[in-house]
Amino acid sequence: MSPTQPTLKNTKATGPVTIEMVAQLAGVSLSTVSRILNGTAVVSDAKKQAVDRAIAELDFVPNPMARSLAGGRSHSIGVITRAIDSPFYGAALRGIEETLDPAGYSSLFVSGHFDVNLEKRCFDLLRGRRVDGIIVLTGHLPDSNLKTYAKSLPLVVTGRTLKAKGLVSLDFDNFEGGRLATAHLLSLGHQKIAVITGEASHKDSTERLRGHCAALAAAGLPFDPRLVVAGDYLELGGVRAVEELLAQKIPFTGIFALNDQMAAGAALALHRLGKHIPSDYSLVGFDDLPQSVYAAPPLTTVRQPAYELGELAAECMIQLLKGESPSVKPPGPSLIVRESTRALERR
Amino acid sequence: MSPTQPTLKNTKATGPVTIEMVAQLAGVSLSTVSRILNGTAVVSDAKKQAVDRAIAELDFVPNPMARSLAGGRSHSIGVITRAIDSPFYGAALRGIEETLDPAGYSSLFVSGHFDVNLEKRCFDLLRGRRVDGIIVLTGHLPDSNLKTYAKSLPLVVTGRTLKAKGLVSLDFDNFEGGRLATAHLLSLGHQKIAVITGEASHKDSTERLRGHCAALAAAGLPFDPRLVVAGDYLELGGVRAVEELLAQKIPFTGIFALNDQMAAGAALALHRLGKHIPSDYSLVGFDDLPQSVYAAPPLTTVRQPAYELGELAAECMIQLLKGESPSVKPPGPSLIVRESTRALERR
DNA sequence: CTGAAAGCGCTTACAG
DNA sequence: CTGAAAGCGCTTACAG
């Protein structure tokens, strides 16, 4: 610090540095510092330099609460997810965090557990915290509610196709994903394919099943509803489904589990019953969870790029906040062939 | 609303309700409303009732930014974790969130990736956001740094034993966990036990290994360093370790992977090499990840109660914030016997 | 291009 | 027990 600088009330004293101290050190007004900080107006180069120097010297970081109060924006985005430790949405959360953060927004994650009432409560909580916008990862809220919410603040929703002002929806092509999975099994010669579904209330699940049927139809094969058994998107559902399926005594050689967690359960049940994958049954999952590549055997599955989806959702939110109307096409599904599927041997 | 009520500047107009509107509706001063809200002082019953009614009627939620600015506390706690989507720490994050939230604190999760420099940056970021305290889930920061940080704000750290003012450390007994795992293998008759370790810089890992050696010693068995191979706490490390181990041609029948992720990799490698668990090799992991119970076969492992640890860390933080000095004992390890271990058959 | 001033919505001594 | 007032640290019209 140069000896000619004016005396400061609080050079290196207690508590954090304030904008006032910066202004004083730089010899400019509060407003000027603020403008430089926010790039709100053109400022002479000399002052800018002085201020930058002062900021660096004092190690100044603006108080986010004060900034928010005065500016009317909290610089935080609410994210309603199934659960903070959801195996699938985890990557999406990371994608959101990693794109929101450099843009100066912090993320507030809340767990809605795919429950309408909880999700509503999450909304109230986030609004109470004055978030600038909300990202809803799928969830179970009715479209009508979402449209209403979008009237009061920017909204990005995944897993739907919805048109409304201040709202962007990012749908994933579950139908095509389902089609890919079954087409793969068919190409390997499997014609009797069992399906383990999610809950009927999950639109994802019904779409994936539709894709399955479409692939069957395209191959001129009949759809046997007896081979469709209801799971719950959790491992245990996969276990039970396989037990049920085998008890039925209706022959099949392929299994399409509508998500990887159920596929893991199915693999375990098969293992316990002494059946081998892929020599006895070929198994396809959906999602491509991080652990699926390390399953024994590694799981053939339909990849749903969760991280990228999170990134995209965050980018849309940033644009919405700027007053733009983002138009995006979410990444599509792709088949990842690993070791849980194999060509059917003619017997 | 009764017709006799005084006129409000802003009855049901735009924007959120403020404390001033509540005060006006209830016919009291701003300060009184604030006091009732915070339970800061005794208030006459009549006024309390009126204020409560007004709050309910207007659906008032205090502005957290204003509260923080004026009160000097942000009511938010920073949490430095390995990654927002970490398989192991996910449950801990949930435990933290679920106990901090009802206490009126929100959680700010940041990913330090077990990298000292990143973790330092996380610290700066969180301090910039003016969090009231920080919880560090293990991480790689040197103890000395932690002690320094603790001088400026309350700190809760897991995975260490550390004494300092304003700091509470919650260590997990990794030594005992390691001992349990190997004792289990020994009790099944396995005497040649391979160990797949984490990185040498992970204290967890070295402790677990020490526990292994202690169990061996207690059984009067020799420790063979050639059976110890270095992993990385990730699945791939487990895969490689098994390949290396089998290539060595040194016989062994038990494998202790120092975490479940490496155990999963080991299981996969074994599967690919045509080896069967548990008839060819018994495998024990560590952590008890949610997916380990659904591995094929379900993994025998040492349970480390992540959720409970998160809860405990959050509770300690709350106490620290109240000015108390929490003294706690973290939950201990327990052996979970599943299907990946079996008694050695005499050959 | 730049400053003085009002104001964001609360909390908290300070006086009754 | 309760009110008027100052102040938390910024942003943003409002005037130059």
Distance CA A25, CA A7 (A): 8
Q: How many CB pairs under 8 A join A and B?
A: 113
What is the model's pLDDT at position B342? 96
Order of all β-strands in the sheet with A106-111: A106-111, A76-81, A133-136, A155-158, A167-170
Using the 8-state DSSP alphabet, how is residue B104 labeled? T
- Residues sharing a CB contact under 8 Å with residue A216, sequence separation 6 or more, in sequence order: A182, A186, A193, A222, A223
**CA/C1' separation B254–D8 (Å):** 63
- Determine the distance in angstroms separating the CA of B187 from the nearest CA of chain A, rounded to an integer: 24
What is the model's pLDDT at position A327? 86
Q: What residues in chain A have per-residue pLDDT under 70?
A: 1-15, 346-347
Confidence of residue B346 (pLDDT cuts 50, 70, 90): low
Mean pLDDT of B174-190: 97
Percent of chain B whose predicted confidence (pLDDT) is above 90: 83
What is the model's pLDDT at position A38? 87
Task: Give me the residues paired with residue B95 across strands.
Answer: none
Near strand C (CB < 7 A), which residues? Answer: A 28-32, 35, 41-44, 46-47, 66, 69-70, 72; B 15-20, 30-31, 34-35, 37-38, 40, 60, 62-63, 66-67, 69-72
Question: In the numeric block, which tokens belong to residue B145?
Answer: 């740094």
CA B152 to chain CA centroid, Å, is 22
Question: In the numeric block, which tokens belong to residue A219?
Answer: 């191959």
State the residue for tokens 């009927």.
A200
In 3-state terms, what secondary structure has residue A122?
A: helix
Q: Residue A77: closest CA among chain B residues belongs to which residue?
A: B108
pLDDT, tens only, A48-92: 888 999 999 999 999 999 999 999 999 999 999 999 999 999 999
Q: Residue A297: closest CA among chain B residues belongs to which residue?
A: B268
Q: Which helix (H) or strand (E) holds B170?
A: strand B167-170
| Interfacial residues of A (vs B; Cβ cutoff 8 Å) | 16, 61, 63-66, 68-69, 74, 83-85, 87, 90-91, 93-94, 97, 106, 108-109, 111, 127-130, 235, 239, 261, 264-265, 267-268, 270-272, 290-291, 293-298
Neighboring chain A residues of B61 at a CB cutoff of 8 Å: 127-128
Cβ contact, residue pair A298, B268, below 8 Å: yes
Domains and CATH numbers, chain B: 19-62 (no CATH), 75-172+307-331 (3.40.50.2300), 174-303 (3.40.50.2300)
Length of chain A: 347
What is the model's pLDDT at position A13? 42
Distance CA A316, CA A275 (A): 46
Nucleotides on strand C lying under 7 Å from protein C-beta: 1-13
Q: How open is the CA angle A211-A174-A163, to the nearest 5 degrees?
A: 120
Helix-then-strand count for chain B, H and E: 12, 11
Neighboring chain A residues of B69 at a CB cutoff of 8 Å: 63, 65-66, 69
Estimate the crossing angle of helix A203-218 against helix A174-187, to 10 degrees. Answer: 40
Distance CA B268, CA B285 (A): 14
Which residue minimizes Cα–C1' distance to D1?
B43
What is the model's pLDDT at position B13? 42
pLDDT, tens only, B230-286: 999 999 999 999 999 999 999 999 999 999 999 999 999 999 999 999 999 999 999
Cβ contact, residue pair B265, A294, below 8 Å: yes
Cβ contact, residue pair A127, B93, below 8 Å: no
Confidence of residue B9 (pLDDT cuts 50, 70, 90): very low
What is the model's pLDDT at position B8? 39
**Residue from the list B74, B91, B293 with its beta carbon closest to the beta carbon of A65:** B74
* Residue A64, nucleotide of least CA–C1' distance: D10
Confidence of residue B47 (pLDDT cuts 50, 70, 90): confident
CB A93 within 8 A of CB A309: no
Distance CA B228, CA B233 (A): 14
What is the model's pLDDT at position A153? 93
What is the model's pLDDT at position A347? 53
Cβ contact, residue pair A291, B235, below 8 Å: yes
What is the model's pLDDT at position A4? 32
> Could you give the residue ranges of the DSSP H alpha helices within chain A?
19-26, 30-38, 45-58, 64-71, 89-100, 116-128, 143-150, 174-187, 203-218, 235-248, 260-272, 306-321
